[in-house]
A = this chain, B = another copy of it.
């Protein structure tokens, strides 16, 4: 039984949709092109062979070598998911005679570090032949990544679960692949955190950055400083048991937890509870407005550092990770300048600007962190010449800022391009690279860039919408962090993203079902069909657009249609493809099929428009979108007319093109909180129909 590698190639091509074209040249004589794989993030190296492994009633998986409770639990979760995909896996596993031949063997060399560090070996090797499979890894963490890959290779075909014969050698490009979640502006319960961690495990992300305090709420229970949550959490916080539970849950999935307590600014919640360590602002309640309220810790007061020493010491018993994130962003320092005592302190020490006082504050934190076994991590602003090189900088200002840090000798990670509420497409974020191919950094400097973090800020999300804001786009970014730099094929990324997105719902996320539910709620007792149609081709306005339009604050009910639509919906690519085929497909059948698909859509839009208008007249929650609803109908009509002229090879009447352009231009203008995702493509269709040469 030979498993000769037929067409060894760089992984990229072998899983990509371009494969067919390449295979035609390279392997035509050898075999038909194998179906593309669904693995996401793309592995570092894939070799495909002939044949496939069938997971039947003889299924039997065994753990060999060292194994521990963490691996056992991961293996058990793996079997549960495999059982849900294939059925009867648990029964086969249960019934397997002892000593039966193992169909899947896991070999793990060692457990990995007790406290997972940045140097954890996360690699694994997975070999599947037509007779069996073997997964080997140096640590539990690598084994877990390998099990995720195994699950993605499985496909139900011809009544049975199968895996293609394949050899995968895989390891991450970056060691720091994080997701930052702000739970201060809106609180997210432990259930949300845990399902987020489940999603991260699928995406092979390995750092959960937990933004636990900010102006709008202090979310971590301190027993030494109980007023934090008594006075400054609105009752919404994590108990210490819960935080330990989250840390354990994350560790069980190979994920580190880095807590952030943002200081010395963004500390209204601190100062509501403990005004004595503040610069003198009189905080009477948690601020309603988001933004940068004036509130700073007082670096001139020794009590502040004593307080922080005790507090950080307490948190260090809960969060074992080496890194402790001190925030450090957006401290304007107005309170410092306005407080005569602090101003005097600055003068005495020669600190001419608040930045200098903040650098002093950070320097004072260093020995405190070190005392409790922690290294400092912070946002861009902490990067000042006063700080030693082993602090870790998280760049929210951009690639240039990150590169500059690396040149100065600082380690850092990139976050700026991965702000989810900027509503960029999965592809845009996927293509943003912490170390672009054309980087000017030396090899040595490049080594200081450890990866990146996806950022989910909390002002405009709440537990029912967080999933659909984070996923599935985070998968695309996770692939950037994990896969080779050369992996830049957006079309293939989307192909795999669609499948992996469904997998995320299976592990408990609600990024598809959640928005559906919200639309059902918005429709009240009516059928949500029309809202679904609208949602399929719109996406949310950006964070700032929404803020400018709605003046979102802590009291804003996040219950509009914008909360029930997703960024970069699948229809964006579908419509692009359909328009392209409708205009350019050389095959007449393909052209007609694409035109039919478009016709169906346009009719759907026409039908939806008056229904949404009717719903909106009843509900304040929908009436922001009256204009968009009307436009959707007009765009549908315009599209149908364009199709008719194209299909009938009839020139559009005089004035039609101008009218169509007018409809498109109006739809491009901001209105309400939704944006159409198909306008450039519809414009192509309209221009083609209106062109004198439309008679094709």
A selection of 28 A-B contacts at a CB cut-off of 8 Å is A83-B557, A83-B559, A84-B521, A87-B559, A87-B620, A87-B621, A88-B555, A94-B288, A155-B524, A156-B524, A156-B621, A157-B618, A158-B618, A159-B618, A159-B620, A159-B623, A160-B620, A161-B620, A241-B241, A502-B521, A505-B517, A505-B520, A505-B521, A510-B513, A512-B517, A513-B514, A513-B516, A513-B517
**Does A668 count as interface, using CB distance less than 8 angstroms?**
no
Closest to A89 in B: B557
**Does A24 count as interface, using CB distance less than 8 angstroms?**
no
**Does A90 count as interface, using CB distance less than 8 angstroms?**
yes
B525 touches A499 (CB 8 A): yes
CA distance in complex: A91, B550 (Å) = 13
**Does A506 count as interface, using CB distance less than 8 angstroms?**
yes
**Does A431 count as interface, using CB distance less than 8 angstroms?**
no
The 4 A-B residue pairs with the shortest CB-CB distance in the complex, in nearest-first order: A513-B513, A91-B555, A156-B619, A83-B557
B513 touches A555 (CB 8 A): no
Closest to A157 in B: B618
CA distance in complex: A557, B88 (Å) = 6
**Does A435 count as interface, using CB distance less than 8 angstroms?**
no
A618 touches B156 (CB 8 A): yes
B512 touches A498 (CB 8 A): no
Closest to A499 in B: B525
Q: A559: which B residues are within 8 A, CB to CB?
A: 83-84, 87
A87 touches B557 (CB 8 A): yes
A159 touches B617 (CB 8 A): yes
Q: A666: which B residues are within 8 A, CB to CB?
A: none
Chain A 597-625 residues near chain B, CB threshold 8 A? 617-621, 623
**Does A191 count as interface, using CB distance less than 8 angstroms?**
yes
Chain A 497-529 residues near chain B, CB threshold 8 A? 498-499, 502, 505-506, 510, 512-514, 516-517, 520-521, 524-525
State which size class the interface on A falls in.
35 or more
**Does A86 count as interface, using CB distance less than 8 angstroms?**
yes
Chain A 67-92 residues near chain B, CB threshold 8 A? 73, 83-84, 86-91
A90 touches which one: B94, B516, B555 (CB < 8 A)? B555
Closest to A159 in B: B620
CA distance in complex: A556, B80 (Å) = 11
Chain A 103-122 residues near chain B, CB threshold 8 A? none
A502 touches B516 (CB 8 A): no
What distance in Å separates the Cβ of A291 from its nearest Cβ neighbour in chain B?
Answer: 17
Q: Produce 1/0 per residue, A207-248, CB < 8 A to B.
A: 000000000000000000000000000010000010000000
CA distance in complex: A179, B518 (Å) = 27
Chain A 539-597 residues near chain B, CB threshold 8 A? 555-557, 559
A557 touches B520 (CB 8 A): no
Q: Produce 1/0 per residue, A145-187, CB < 8 A to B.
A: 0000000000111111100000000000000000000000000
Q: A525: which B residues are within 8 A, CB to CB?
A: 498-499, 502
What distance in Å separates the Cβ of A79 from its nearest Cβ neighbour in chain B?
Answer: 11
Report if A90-B521 is in contact (Cβ < 8 Å); known contacts: A513-B516, A516-B516, A618-B158: no
CA distance in complex: A91, B289 (Å) = 12
A90 touches B557 (CB 8 A): yes
CA distance in complex: A520, B506 (Å) = 10
CA distance in complex: A157, B622 (Å) = 12
Report if A620-B86 is in contact (Cβ < 8 Å); known contacts: A191-B191, A521-B505: yes
Chain A 480-508 residues near chain B, CB threshold 8 A? 498-499, 502, 505-506
Q: Produce 1/0 per residue, A116-147, CB < 8 A to B.
A: 00000000000000000000000000000000
Closest to A155 in B: B524
What distance in Å separates the Cβ of A504 from its nearest Cβ neighbour in chain B?
Answer: 11
B94 touches A555 (CB 8 A): yes
What distance in Å separates the Cβ of A361 from its nearest Cβ neighbour in chain B?
Answer: 34
What distance in Å separates the Cβ of A439 from its nearest Cβ neighbour in chain B?
Answer: 36
What distance in Å separates the Cβ of A518 from its nearest Cβ neighbour in chain B?
Answer: 9
Closest to A158 in B: B618
